[in-house]
C-alpha cells in the first residue's frame, strides 16, 4: 500500500537529531514551557519575520485564543471560507460568535475575496483567511477590505508553514496568525502542538495570559483563560525539524510538479499555483467528477487517497442550526464532491509516484 503520508519515513531521515532532542528534554527535567519552548518560539518568529510567537497546545487552541484576545465573542460575526477544516468554523462558534461563510474560488480553493464585502454587516469583527492546502489566500484585497471596514485579520496558517504571498511568508500578514504542528502538517510534532504569532505587543501579552489561566503573575488570574501550553518535548522535536522544513517544502513542490506533468493529459483537474503564490503543497488535490469510483480503483490497486473535506463546514450539524443549507455555497459544495488528495510527502519516491500515475492513467483511459 502506498500511504497518504509516511511519518515514520521522515523520522528515520533525521533520527539521530530527533533522538538527541528527545533525550536532552528528558535530561532537562523541564517539560511544560521553559527554555526549549522559548527557543522554538524565537526560531519561528525569526523564520516568519514576526515579533512574537506563543507556543500553544494545538492549532485549534490558537484560533480560540486569537479570537478571545481580539475580543470576538457573543453577538459578533466572523467571515471565513466556506471550504476549510471544521476547526475554523468551530472555534468561532466556541467563543460565542457566528461564522459567516464566503464561497471559494474554485481554481485555487481559497476564499473568494471579491465576495467578502457583501457578507460584511455591522456585527462583523474579523476575517479568517485560511491558506488551504498550502496555497496562500489572496491577501492584498482581504487586507484592504479589512482596513476599509475596520476588521481584524486572523490568518489560519495551519496548512501553509513556509508558503509565501508575493514573496512574504504567510502568517506574517494578519493581526494574528494561527499555526498547527499536528503531525501531518508540513512542520509536524510528534503529538499536538500549535502557535499564535503577532507583531502587536499588547495582543501578544494577552495571548500569553490566555495560554495559562489568564495569569500575568503566576496564580493571579486576571481573566478566564485556558491551559494551552506547548510542551518542551514537542518544542525540542520541532526545533530539530525546523531547519529541514524548506528542503521538505521544496520536495513537496517538486513532487507536485511531477504529478502535474504526468497527469496533464488526463481527464482530471490538477492544482494551480497563482503567480503571486508560493504553494507548499500541504496536500496535492485533484478534482474529478468521477472521484468516488477513482478512489475505489486506487484503493483496489494499493494506493491511499483521502477526501479533504467531504462536508463543507456550513453543512455540518452545528452550522445547519444557524440556518445554513445545501446550495448556499456552490463552489465549496462541488469541491467537497469532486476533490481528493493523492499521496504526498517529501520522502515519496519517484517509483511510487510513477505507480500512482500509471494507475490513474489506467482508470481514466478505461473510463473514456
Ligand atoms: C489542522 C488545522 C487546524 C487545527 O489544528 P490542530 O493542531 O489540529 O488543532 C485548523 N485549521 C486548519 C485549516 C487546519 O488544517
pLDDT for position 366: 76
Give the residue among 289, 309, 66 at the shortest CA–CA distance from 180.
66
What's the average model confidence in pLDDT over 62-69? Answer: 98
Closest atom of ligand 1 to 61 CA is: 9
Residue to substitute in 55, 159, 230, 280 for testing ligand 1 pocket (most ligand atoms within 8 angstroms of CB): 159
What's the average model confidence in pLDDT over 116-131? Answer: 98
What's the average model confidence in pLDDT over 15-30? Answer: 97
Residue to substitute in 5, 58, 60 for testing ligand 1 pocket (most ligand atoms within 8 angstroms of CB): 60
Instruction: Identify the residue whose C-alpha is closest to ligand 1 atom 2.
Output: 158
Ligand 1 site, residue 194, Cβ cutoff 6 A: yes
The backbone torsions φ and ψ at residue 165, rounded to the nearest 5 degrees and listed phi first, read -120, 120
Q: By the 8 A CB rule, do 104 and 130 touch?
A: no
Residue to substitute in 155, 156, 186 for testing ligand 1 pocket (most ligand atoms within 8 angstroms of CB): 156
Instruction: Identify the residue whose C-alpha is closest to ligand 1 atom 7.
Output: 59
Q: How confident is the model at residue 368 (pLDDT cuts 50, 70, 90)?
A: low
pTM of the predicted model over 0.95 = yes
Distance from C-alpha of 345 to C-alpha of 353, rounded to nearest angstrom = 11
What structural domains and CATH numbers belong to the chain?
7-102+109-243 (3.40.640.10), 245-366 (3.90.1150.10)
Cα torsion 122, 124, 125, 129: sign: negative
Ligand 1 site, residue 348, Cβ cutoff 6 A: no
The backbone torsions φ and ψ at residue 346, rounded to the nearest 5 degrees and listed phi first, read -60, -25
Ligand 1 site, residue 130, Cβ cutoff 6 A: yes
How far, in Å, is the centroid of ligand 1 from the Cα of 337?
21
pLDDT for position 365: 83
Amino acid at each position: 500500500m502506498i500511504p497518504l503520508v509516511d511519518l515514520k519515513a521522515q523520522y528515520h531521515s533525521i533520527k539521530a537529531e530527533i533522538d538527541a532532542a528527545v533525550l536532552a528534554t528528558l535530561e532537562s527535567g523541564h517539560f511544560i514551557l521553559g527554555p526549549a519552548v522559548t527557543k522554538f518560539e524565537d526560531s519561528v518568529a525569526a523564520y516568519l519575520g514576526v515579533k512574537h510567537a506563543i507556543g500553544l497546545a494545538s492549532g485549534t487552541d490558537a484560533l480560540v485564543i486569537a479570537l478571545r484576545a481580539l475580543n470576538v465573542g457573543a453577538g459578533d460575526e466572523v467571515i471565513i471560507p466556506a471550504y476549510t477544516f471544521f476547526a475554523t468554523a468551530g472555534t468561532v462558534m466556541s467563543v460565542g460568535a457566528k461564522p459567516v461563510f464566503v464561497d471559494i474560488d474554485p481554481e485555487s480553493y481559497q476564499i473568494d475575496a471579491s465576495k467578502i464585502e457583501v457578507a460584511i454587516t455591522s456585527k462583523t469583527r474579523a476575517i479568517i483567511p485560511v491558506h488551504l492546502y498550502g496555497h496562500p489566500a489572496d491577501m492584498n484585497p482581504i487586507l484592504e477590505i479589512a482596513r476599509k471596514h475596520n476588521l481584524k485579520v486572523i490568518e489560519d496558517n495551519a496548512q501553509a508553514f513556509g508558503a509565501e504571498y508575493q514573496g512574504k511568508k504567510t502568517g506574517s500578514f494578519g493581526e494574528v496568525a494561527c499555526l498547527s504542528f499536528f503531525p501531518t502538517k508540513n512542520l509536524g510534532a510528534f503529538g499536538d502542538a500549535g502557535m499564535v504569532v503577532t507583531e502587536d505587543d499588547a495582543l501578544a501579552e494577552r495571548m500569553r495570559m490566555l495560554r495559562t489561566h489568564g495569569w500575568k503573575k503566576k496564580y493571579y488570574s486576571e481573566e478566564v483563560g485556558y491551559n494551552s501550553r506547548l510542551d518542551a518535548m514537542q518544542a525540542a522535536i520541532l526545533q530539530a525539524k525546523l531547519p529541514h522544513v524548506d528542503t521538505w517544502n521544496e520536495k513537496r513542490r517538486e513532487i507536485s510538479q511531477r504529478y502535474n506533468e504526468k497527469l496533464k493529459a488526463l481527464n482530471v483537474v490538477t492544482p494551480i499555483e497563482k503567480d503571486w503564490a508560493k504553494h507548499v503543497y500541504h496536500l496535492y488535490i485533484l478534482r474529478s467528477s468521477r472521484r468516488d469510483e477513482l478512489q475505489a480503483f486506487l484503493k483496489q490497486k494499493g494506493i491511499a487517497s483521502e477526501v479533504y473535506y467531504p462536508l463543507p463546514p456550513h453543512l455540518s450539524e452545528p452550522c445547519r442550526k444557524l440556518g445554513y443549507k445545501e446550495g448556499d455555497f456552490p463552489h465549496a459544495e462541488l469541491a467537497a464532491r469532486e476533490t481528493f488528495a493523492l499521496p504526498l510527502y517529501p520522502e515519496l519516491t519517484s517509483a511510487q509516484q510513477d505507480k500512482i500515475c500509471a494507475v490513474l492513467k489506467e482508470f481514466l483511459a478505461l473510463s473514456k
